Amino acid sequence: MKAVSVKNASMHFGDFTAVQDVSFDVGEGEFITLLGPSGCGKTTLLKMISGFLQPSSGIIEIGGKDVTHVPPERRDTAMCFQSYALFPHLSVADNLQFGLKQKRLLTAERKQRLQDVATKLDLTAQLDKLPNQLSGGQQQRVALGRALTMRPSVVLFDEPLSNLDAKLRDSVRMEIRKIQRDYNLAAIYVTHDQGEALAMSDRILIMNNGRIEQAGTPHEIYGTPNTSFVADFIGDANILDAEVIGEEGAGRWRLGTQIGELIAASAAPPVAKTLKVCWRPEKAQFGPGTENTITADITHRAFQGNYTDLFVMIASAPQRVQWRDNAVGLADSLTMHIRPEDIIFLEAIA
Amino acid sequence: MTRLNLNKILLWALFGLCVIWLVIPFTIAILWSLVDPSQPWTPDHLLPPSMSFYRWGYLWAHSSLKIAMFNSYMLAPSVAIVTLTLAMPTAYALGRINFPGKEVVKLLVLLPLVVPGFVTAIFFTAILFQLGLNAWRFGAILFAHSILFLPYAIRIMSVSFETVRQDHIDAARDLGASTFERWKVAYIPALKPGIMATLLIVFIYSIEEFAIAFIVGSPNFTTIPTLLFTNLGANFIRPNAAVISLILVVPNVILMLFLERLLRSANPALSSGKG
Amino acid sequence: MTWRSWLKLGLLLAPGLGLILVFIGSVVYIAIAQSFGLFSLSGESEFSLEYWSRMFERLTYNRAIGYSLYVGFASAFLAVLFAYPLAVWLRRPFPGSLTISAVLKAPLLVHGLVAAFLYVNIISYHGLVNQIMQGLGIWDGPHRLQNDSRAIGVLILQTWKNMPFALLLLVGSVSAISDDVLDAAADLGAGPFARFRRVIAPLSVSATQAALVIVFVGALADFSFQVIAGPVNKQSLSQLMVFFKGYGRWHDAAVVAVTLMGLGIAGSALLALVSRFILRGGRLS
């Protein structure tokens, strides 16, 4: 059974379309990330699942039941808010039990769940404090704990880590994932941070302009983006316009691009005769190769610690290259090659 | 039912309430002020059978209305200027100096609003009797009003002083401005809306103030509210009371609307409140 | 801070805070002193408890206390009762909400005496209410509604005049509650009423207290509404005080004034405690 199913959901605000015809499923125990730039509709989608917004059309199912018209207080979801949204007048213990009291659970059961969550999240010493007496990380854990005590069909995360500093974010990230696995919870996680999405998710849905641009595992999304939007949004990419000149054996094509003729190898054939292709800056192989050997003029270099970013000009097209070996000094130009399997076919050029 | 529909229904309910709340009472008052004495407005008529501005002219010519208006409109601007002057130093201290006990000072400033108006009025009169100053009515009311409305003036002006930007003052100093120049360039522009608002609000409150004017001014110093009170009591003639009510309320409502806009432009945090 | 900066501060505070303290301080001091027979304007000044003991025996005084407390508490309760739902409704702006709050705030701009006059017009013997009730056939003849003995007129006027003020305070505090917090409550299973009881009410305790206390203090000391629209057979404390003063009985007026201030403080404290207790769901801490 699916924990959550979204079927052809759309959301219009007047003339503006926030979400357009989106469908996806979340399996039990699956961790799904909605990733996209601000304004792409990911938060709107989350609000439709939690019940704060009614979709203009489409169906939302939770645990196999149609809940499209069920108000949030009667949906089996629990949300972790970006602002934490802790009740400022209630102690940590009362915050954690708030939902259980609404459910009118027996006191013994309530106490047991409270203890369980407090131990797991290391909050036992904070139970009598008020939220404003806690650190940011502790508040975050209370927000998470408050959702977990509900044992919901699905936990919804709305950019829960954006208010934490970078170091703390990494550890809380792992903690969230661990607890989600322990409880075998389905989770939908909204973020605009691609690193977070790649590190945490079972599956990533990339959203753009209210649509799902691509869905897949982190490896699929990074390794074989479908469109230049996805390629550019996740990681860095050198995107080129290409024309397919001809097929060179099984799964190999000769392309004409701004940086010269290239050989590309791909399991899937190109979608059109003229299309976008890309390659990742870290895939540049230094020195000449058997194919795709290129000479580049270096225009600018930026030292990044474990590598150096090179801004190069290849036949008057600006490209980026990552140079891993800092020790070696560089001349004004360098010779490199791109392996055919590192060139990725993207969408057609209209 | 969706929230949108619910709001629509509530809006109409409120429109109805508004009619009961404001439109009907004021329409009736206006109609009463226009009743011509030649034909009384009896319950069998929906509108007064004969309407004219007779009452307005009559009251202007034959009652203490002229004197009351003169008193009120002399008193109010004087009070406004005196209050503003008295409020400035304290407001400056509250707005620009950090000192221990600031919160206590802010609370103590509110004292005039806590003591009931008639208690203040009566025992201020007692003090005036003790000092032998009870004949000096205009001055006494001016003095009492000025202190009574200080809380409003201090509150508005200290917020204004807070909005003066230290970097403007520093920039002016850095560029060699004298104290006077510094005030002109950094303080006055930021204070101007607050000053206007203070003058207006104190003006309105002074025009409206009843307890002090009634107790200290009685029996022979009348202002518009005390005149209205007498016309609502012993000398109750409905059309006359209607005329005086409108004279009291209409200019103030216009000034208040003006004030609301002024406060909103001066300080969004103050816009919701009268004080 | 050095003594120089303290001196500067003292000089700055003198014309504002200084005058306030001297003026209100001497007013309150004179009232208390006169209630004990001092500062007499006519006869001997001598400390005595006689004015208090004689006043306690007066029926009018004791009835005025009861009546003023009734008007004070009932007005505070009614004003907040009407303002609360409106504040929750107007929490977030929607099309038309500005107009609504402008209409609701309008009574703030109308002078109390004018409000009393408008009200008296409508309920007068041949006024609108009587005409409508007769027109609908509910009443056979006109009823006398003005100066009703249960002070309903005074309460209507107090509520009309004070509700906007309570609304102002409550809207400020209710709209400061973030949408996320209310959404979180809903998400955790709290319906509209539970959201109000468990989140909105406890988070707007101080605004409610302020509204109750301010309306109470104002209505307790009411003079004009009582004189114009109040019951003829009852007197409010302010009315009684003005009555004594009118006859030159300063010491009696002072006893009433001190009573008024004392009741104001005691009643405010009571209201603040009770409202906190109720809104916090039966807990004081």
Dump pLDDT digits (tens) for B149-187.
999 999 999 988 988 888 888 888 888 788 888 888 888
Q: Which residues of B touch C171 (CB under 8 A)?
A: 272
Supply B51's token pair. Answer: 């309407």
Q: How many CB pairs under 8 A join B and C?
A: 195
CA distance C90 to B204: 28
Supply C221's token pair. Answer: 């000391």
DSSP string, C230-253: S-TT---HHHHHHHHHHTT-HHHH
pLDDT for the residue B266: 56
Dump pLDDT digits (tens) for A260-316.
899 999 888 899 999 999 999 999 888 888 888 988 888 888 888 888 888 999 888
Is the pLDDT reported for residue A259 higher than 80?
yes
pLDDT for the residue C79: 94
CB under 8 Å to C96, separation ≥6 — which residues?
Answer: B7, B11
Nearest to B122 among C114, C245, C261 (CB): C245
Residues 118 through 177 of chain C touching chain B, CB cutoff 8 Å: 118-122, 126, 128, 131, 160, 168, 171-172
pLDDT for the residue C230: 87
Q: Is the peptide bond before B219 cis (omega within 30 degrees of 0)?
A: yes
Residue (of A212, B75, C197, B156) closest to A203 by Cα position: A212
Residue of C nearest to B228 (CA): C113
In chain A, residues under CATH classification 2.40.50.100 are 236-348
* Averaged pLDDT for residues A91-116: 91
Kindly list the domain boundaries of chain B, sorted by start residue: 64-265
Q: How far is B177 from chain C (nearest CA, A)?
A: 23
pLDDT for the residue B274: 33
Higher-confidence residue of C256 and B252: namely C256
Instruction: Please determine, looking at this structure, whether the domain spanning A236-348 carries the CATH number 2.130.10.10.
Output: no
Supply C31's token pair. Answer: 């009232």
From the candidates B85, B115, B198, B229, which should be mutated to test the interface with C, based on the most C CB atoms within 10 A? B115
pLDDT for the residue B144: 94
Question: Is B191:B161 a contact under the CB 8 Å cutoff?
Answer: yes
Least confidently predicted of A109-113, A230-234, B24-28: B24-28
* Rg (alpha carbons) of chain A, rounded to whole number: 24
Instruction: Report phi then psi at C13, rounded to 5.
Output: -80, -20
Q: Which residues of C touch A131 (CB under 8 A)?
A: none
In eight-state DSSP terms, residue C197 is I
Decide the pairing of beta strands A317-323 and A308-314: antiparallel
Residue (of A5, A26, A21, A4) closest to A56 by Cα position: A21
For each of the domains in chain C, give its residue range(s) and CATH number, in order of start.
Answer: 56-279 (1.10.3720.10)
Q: Which residues of A touch C202 (CB under 8 A)?
A: 89
Share of chain A above pLDDT 90, in %: 57
In chain A, residues under CATH classification 3.40.50.300 are 2-228
Higher-confidence residue of B61 and A176: namely A176
Is the pLDDT reported for residue A117 higher than 50?
yes
B95, HSE (Cβ side, Cα atoms, 13 Å) = 24
Nearest to C194 among A85, A89, A102 (CB): A102
A2, β-bridge pairs: A27
pLDDT for the residue B4: 64
CA distance A273 to A284: 25
In eight-state DSSP terms, residue C199 is I
CA distance C114 to B228: 8
CA distance A107 to B236: 68
Q: How far is C283 from chain B (nearest CA, A)?
A: 27
Q: How far is C242 from chain B (nearest CA, A)?
A: 8
A320, β-bridge pairs: A311
CA distance C54 to C116: 34
Helices and strands, counts by H and E, chain C: 15, 0
pLDDT for the residue B265: 63
Higher-confidence residue of A303 and A45: namely A45
Does C13 contact B at CB distance below 8 Å? Answer: yes
Residues 231 through 250 of chain B touching chain C, CB cutoff 8 Å: 232-233, 238, 241-242, 245, 248-249
B64-265 adopts what CATH topology?
A: MetI-like fold (1.10.3720)
Average pLDDT in chain A:
90
- Any chains having at least 3 CB pairs less than 8 A from chain A are C
From the candidates A83, A87, A90, A140, which should be mutated to test the interface with C, based on the most C CB atoms within 10 A? A87
**Ramachandran area for residue C188 (φ above 0: left; ψ -120 to 50: alpha; else beta):** alpha
CA distance A294 to B71: 95
Question: Is B158:B186 a contact under the CB 8 Å cutoff?
Answer: no
Does B32 contact C at CB distance below 8 Å? Answer: yes
* Averaged pLDDT for residues A193-212: 93
pLDDT for the residue B49: 76
Supply B47's token pair. Answer: 């509108």
CA distance A235 to A222: 7
Say whether A73 and C191 touch across the interface (CB within 8 A).
yes
pLDDT for the residue B74: 93
- Identify the residue whose tokens are 């004189």: C227
How many other CB atoms are there within 10 angstroms of residue A52's CB atom? 18
Say whether C189 and A85 touch across the interface (CB within 8 A).
no
Q: Coil, strand or helix: which one is A286?
A: strand
Q: Which residues of C touch A88 (CB under 8 A)?
A: 181, 203
Q: Which residues of C touch B133 (CB under 8 A)?
A: none
Q: Which amino acid is present at C14?
A: A
Dump pLDDT digits (tens) for B64-102.
888 999 999 999 999 999 999 999 999 999 998 998 889
DSSP string, C146-195: TT-TT-HHHHHHHHHHHHHHHHHHHHHHHTTS-HHHHHHHHHTT--HHHH
Chain center to CA of A66 = 27
Q: Which residues of A touch C199 (CB under 8 A)?
A: 87
Q: Which amino acid is present at A246?
A: G
- pLDDT tens-place values along chain C, 285 residues long: 788 889 999 999 999 999 999 999 999 999 999 999 887 777 777 888 888 988 888 889 999 999 999 999 999 999 999 999 889 888 888 777 777 787 788 888 888 888 888 888 888 777 777 778 888 888 887 777 777 888 888 999 999 889 988 998 899 899 889 899 999 999 998 988 899 889 999 999 989 999 999 999 999 999 989 988 889 888 999 999 999 988 888 899 999 999 999 999 999 999 999 988 888 766 655
Q: How confident is the model at residue B268 (pLDDT cuts 50, 70, 90)?
A: very low
Q: Long-range contacts for B9-16 (Cβ within 8 Å, ≥24 apart)? A: B10/C89, B11/C96, B11/C100, B14/C100, B14/C103
Residue (of A271, A260, A266, A279) closest to A320 by Cα position: A279
CB under 8 Å to A167, separation ≥6 — which residues?
Answer: none
Is the pLDDT reported for residue A190 higher than 90?
yes
Nearest to A102 among C190, C203, C280 (CB): C190
User: Can you give chain B as a three-state secondary structure string?
Assistant: CCHHHHHHHHHHHHHHHHHHHHHHHHHHHHHHHCECCCCCCCCCCCCCCCECCHHHHHHHHHCCHHHHHHHHHHHHHHHHHHHHHHHHHHHHHHHHCCCCCHHHHHHHCCHHHHCCHHHHHHHHHHHHHHHCCCCCHHHHHHHHHHHHCHHHHHHHHHHHHHHCCHHHHHHHHHCCCCHHHHHHHHHHHHHHHHHHHHHHHHHHHHHHCCHHHHHHHCCCCCCHHHHHHHHHCCCCCHHHHHHHHHHHHHHHHHHHHHHHHHHHHHCHHHCCCCC
A2-228 adopts what CATH topology?
A: Rossmann fold (3.40.50)
In eight-state DSSP terms, residue C16 is I
Is the pLDDT reported for residue B36 higher than 50?
yes
Say whether C184 and A88 touch across the interface (CB within 8 A).
no
pLDDT for the residue B272: 36
pLDDT for the residue B275: 32
CA distance B228 to C118: 12
Average pLDDT in chain C:
88
Dump pLDDT digits (tens) for B136-155.
889 999 999 999 999 999 99
